[in-house]
A and B are shown apart, each in its own frame.
Chain A
Amino acid sequence: MKRVITVSVINQSGVLNRVTGLLMKRQFNIESITVGHTELSNISKMTFVVNISDEVKLEQLIKQLSKQIDVLKVNDITDKSIVLRELALVKVVSPANLRLEINAIVEPFRPQIIDTSKNVVTYQVTGHPDKIDAFIELVRPYGIKELTRTGVTASVRETQPVDTPQLSILK
């Protein structure tokens, strides 16, 4: 199962290494990872998407992360009401004769064109990772010259449905 885990850490050199090293040592499969500053000056937040086989392993992951001295908080937010966002920069082969067609079919994804050249258009598309996947599949037949994805970042909605299912250990 795919889980979205957020980790608040104190900004110390080496903390990223400690956290990712730990995941590797315990054989967790990281699908994506993003890190950035938060509203607090010395605190960063990491967002992991990991593939995990069962609940026991998930519980281990959360506990092992929580154990680290510079880790302040670990949350599995998968089952909460959340906003997941990712950004992708996609260079699509787009010769003049196809450009209008391509622009038209990607329209519903509301991408931004951030660069163009004679044969290539670079789209910036943001949204749920599923949307990005769909966008990529859509343009793939035209030829993708280069693809860069940021990885997922997430935010928990302020208002949660009353009964958000949660792992027992997080209750």
Chain B
Amino acid sequence: MTANTSTNVKIDALPSTEDENFKPKNGSDLLIKALKDQNVDTVFGYPGGAVLNVYDAMYKNPIRHILTRHEQGAIHAAEGYARVLNKPGVVIATSGPGATNLVTGITDAMIDSIPLVIFTGQVATSVIGSDAFQEADIIGITTPITKHNYQVHDVRDIPRIVKEAFHIANTGRKGPVLIDFPKNISAEIFDETELNDAPIYLPGYQPNTKPNYLQIQKAIQAISESKKPLVLAGAGVLFADARKELTEFVEKYKLPVINTLLGLGSIHGNHELFFGMAGMHGAVVANDAIQNADLLINIGARFDDRLTGDTKRFAPNATIIHIDIDPAEIGKIIPTDIPIVADAKEALQAILSKEIPAPDTTVWLDYLYQKQNDFPYWYEEDEQEILPQQIIQMVHAITNGDAIVSTDVGQHQMWAAQYYKLNNDHGWITSGGLGTMGFGFPAAIGAQFAKPDKKVVAIVGDAGFQMTNQELAVLKEFNLPVKVVIINNAALGMVRQWQELFYEGRYSQSLMPVQPDFVKLADAFGIKGYRITSLDEAGAILEEALNSDEPAVIDARVKQLENVYPMVASGKALHEMVGVKKP
């Protein structure tokens, strides 16, 4: 198999340059200008009555706008874009149904700390509260699922609010910020001299990024004295762009490192000190390492329950160091011995700046290598059917681990996490906290806009893909070379697995015998579709599809009843994994 890890297709969706004589006149002009002042060059959205003025403004003062086929597609695309570029994704939707269609994506971004700035249209201020046509109380609806939200009440505040929104979304613990924009204000003519463009002043928002000196001192001492240290790297490392520092840190002291699901990519997937993902479907060695470590250094992970299993029996022997930008995460789930509220990069730099006696980790590493060797991920090959894991292994081989991989939610997501060994950071896009089906494909679209030169592969389930597959139109429209690999088991695989394991195989509503012909579906959108039905042909088809410069949909028919292993059942502790070895 040959490696072709980039594409040479240019996505020519950037609008012509700004008309030099263009002068902002109304609130919408001001909004587009404020976006450009934030160096925004791409927005994802969908127009409607309440944002007509905004769309008119962007017609006159062009900015690249990606018209998805559903607002959910727009916001997941913005999430994928934000993940890859580590800067806010921008979304525009109309009032009422446009705004409520964003709710799932906003919640997803909130729980996974993805920076977004979202504009929703709103009915005119004079009728807010009167149940006007397409009025929804989106401020009320999104208050618990945004880092912050605004309703614009004065046209002169637009520059300030937009500036603040970008600042809040992309600093501290990142997250979605929503700006609700009433229609009358979007049309209001303003007086240039009265604009409020004051420097950002948010006395109630001063996220701390610098680690406390004494705590760093304590952490260093604990590392020095430990015999079985373990680094748990989460998405905080990626948000802080600290892959280099993390790698330097673990190499300097020979520390084993494991990832959360969302932290994948924070260290090279084949690094000799990397022992894989921990948690419910994590590697045996990673979970074993947590349970046996005497020091756990958590960098930018929030001890999610899918990671910890039974929290009372989590890392029972370990002193806990927790580095997190969000003070509220420290001590929330796991009692912490050495809390460090800081940006992951700054904390790692502070630790690296000190010279300390290195702990001797040889015995510990030997133990872990042995475990890793004894308990690799496994599956039983099947004479008749393709195993989903085999498809992902092939995708990995063909793309050399260098693609941007976006996944949907379910079994295929876990297999992708297990078998796609990423060698790049910001190349892993998945919905962790919310587990949002329908996320993977549109997120891949956003990723491709973010990095037109990279190979982007969406690994999706047949069910999840059907939640947002209308966005195939966007692939066609921009000739976006995203590759959609459908791990097609004709089932809601993860649900079916739980029913098999915990409900005596009563497959209540989890089989999906009737499905579209995905090849024809692709064809209907003008996209090339491929079908894989046997292992013999799989390699060649995948190679052709993945190496082409065109969009592609690959319907890989896999074994229906395959389960994801190993597994920590809910309520169990990490050392109580089942399915750890090939029977």
Tell me the A residues contacting B by CB distance below 8 Å: 9-10, 13-14, 17-18, 21-22, 25, 56, 59-60, 63-64, 66-72
Contacts and interface: CB of A to CB of B under 8 A. Distances in A.
Residue of B140, B151, B332 ringed by the most chain A CB atoms within 10 A: B332
A70 B143 contact: no
Interface of chain A: mostly helix, strand, loop or mixed = helix
A71 B139 CA distance: 18
B144 interface: yes
A71 B204 contact: yes
A25 B204 CA distance: 21
B327 A63 contact: yes
Contacts of A68: 204
B204 A10 contact: yes
A21 B139 CA distance: 12
Contacts of B140: 17
Nearest to A20: B143
A63 B204 contact: no
5 contacts: A56-B331, A56-B335, A60-B332, A64-B328, A71-B204
Given A60-B331, A67-B328, 5 more contacts: A10-B204, A14-B151, A21-B143, A56-B331, A69-B168
Contacts of A9: 204
Interface in B326-367: 326-328, 331-332, 335
Given A10-B204, A69-B205, A25 B144 contact: yes
A14 B332 contact: no
B144 A21 contact: yes
Contacts of A18: 143
A67 B143 contact: no
Given A56-B331, A60-B332, A64-B328, A69 B143 contact: no
A68 B326 CA distance: 12
B147 interface: yes
Interface in B293-333: 326-328, 331-332
A69 B147 CA distance: 8
B203 interface: yes
Residue of A17, A66, A67, A70 ringed by the most chain B CB atoms within 10 A: A67
B327 A69 contact: no
B328 A63 contact: yes
Given A17-B143, A21-B144, A67 B326 contact: yes
B431 interface: no
A152 to B, nearest CB: 24
Contacts of A21: 143-144
A29 B140 CA distance: 21
A72 B203 contact: yes
Nearest to B153: A13
B202 interface: yes
Contact of A59 (B143, B151, B331): B331
Contacts, number: 41
Contacts of B335: 56
Residue of B143, B149, B168 ringed by the most chain A CB atoms within 10 A: B143
Interface residues of B, number: 19
A22 B148 CA distance: 12
Nearest to A64: B328
A10 B164 CA distance: 15
Nearest to B335: A56
A69 B204 contact: yes
A69 B202 contact: yes
Contacts of B139: 14
A56 B335 CA distance: 9
A72 B143 contact: no
Interface in B168-196: 168
A110 B144 CA distance: 44
Given A63-B327, A67-B328, A72 B204 contact: yes
B530 to A, nearest CB: 45
A128 to B, nearest CB: 31
Given A69-B202, A69-B204, A71-B204, A60 B143 contact: no
Interface string B125-158: 0000000000000011001100111010000000
Contacts of A25: 144
A85 B336 CA distance: 37
A80 B155 CA distance: 45
Contacts of B203: 10, 72
Contacts of B151: 13-14
Nearest to A14: B139
A75 B143 CA distance: 23
Contacts of A72: 203-204
Interface string B197-225: 00000111100000000000000000000
A25 B111 CA distance: 14
A58 B89 CA distance: 35
Interface in B31-56: none
A79 to B, nearest CB: 20
A161 B327 CA distance: 29
B154 to A, nearest CB: 12
A28 to B, nearest CB: 14
A67 B144 CA distance: 13
Contacts of B143: 14, 17-18, 21
B170 to A, nearest CB: 14
Lowest 4 A-B CB distances belong to which pairs? A63-B328, A69-B148, A69-B205, A72-B204
Contacts of B327: 63, 66-67
A132 B149 CA distance: 39
A59 B147 CA distance: 20
Contacts of A59: 331
A63 B302 CA distance: 15
Nearest to A56: B331
Contacts of B202: 69
B198 to A, nearest CB: 14
B317 to A, nearest CB: 21
Contacts of B149: 14
A9 B139 CA distance: 18
Contacts of A60: 328, 331-332
A145 B148 CA distance: 44
A18 B203 CA distance: 17
Nearest to A12: B150
A167 to B, nearest CB: 12
Nearest to B339: A169
B469 to A, nearest CB: 33
A129 B168 CA distance: 40
Nearest to B147: A69
A91 B168 CA distance: 50
A69 B202 CA distance: 7
Interface string B71-91: 000000000000000000000
